[in-house]
Structure 1
Amino acid sequence: MKMLILGFAALLATGSAFADTQTTEPVIHDRTGFFVHLDIAKDLSSNILTQDCGIVPAQLIYLDHQGRKHELDYQVQGMGCIGDN
């Protein structure tokens, strides 16, 4: 029984030794509102689906001037409605 416990402990120790210890900074999720001050240094990704009709979700992923990654989720009016001018 002691050998089983020691073997299990050794397995856990080697598993944690080979674990990825690289620290990654968390993504900052910006809050939407009437006015949101955005410190955008570089636009990484933005998706605006204009073929949809009605209010659709959109997302902007960017880096600020300190190099931190931000995600902003917001709503936009789609442009794919039939009969819109």
Structure 2
Amino acid sequence: MKALWVLVLGSLCATAMAGETPLNAAQQKPAIEDYSYSTHLDVAKVISMSTIPDVCEVVPAQMEYADSNGQRHILRYRVMGNGCSAD
């Protein structure tokens, strides 16, 4: 009889744990999107931006932002470095 209760309780616990998600959608890292001129941007709030190095060349950069629906995005793009002088 005890073995039967252990089996029943074990299966109930396993079923309950199978329905849980490890992270909710807000905590999951969004996929990285590559920018192109045809990319439609809906930026409501910038969350973070990568640091642009002091070099005189085109470098990769990233921006994490929230759109008007509150969904998070990571945008990868290329930008000119901050190391060029105007002399």
CA offsets 1:50-74 (integer angstroms, 9 cap, x no match): 4123111111110001110011001
Residue 80 of structure 1 deviates from its aligned partner by 1.1
- Give the structure 2 partner of residue 23 of structure 1: 24
Pairs within 5 Å for 1:1-85: 13=14, 17=17, 21=21, 22-24=23-25, 27-81=30-84, 84-85=85-86
* Structure 1: 5+ residue stretches without partners: 1-9
Work out whether residues 41 and 64 of structure 1, in 8 Å CA contact, stay in contact via their aligned partners in 2.
yes
Moved more, 69-78 or 19-28: 19-28
CA distance in 1, matches of 2:69, 2:50: 23
Aligned AA for 1:66?
N
> Hey, which bits of structure 1, 4+ residues long, moved more than 3 A?
none
CA distance in 1, matches of 2:65, 2:75: 8
CA offsets 1:18-66 (integer angstroms, 9 cap, x no match): 9962432551533311242210111101124141231111111100011
Aligned AA for 1:17?
M
Work out whether residues 28 and 69 of structure 1, in 8 Å CA contact, stay in contact via their aligned partners in 2.
no
Aligned AA for 2:24?
T
- Give the structure 2 partner of residue 4 of structure 1: none
Corresponding residue pairs, total: 75
Q: CA RMSD in A?
A: 3.3
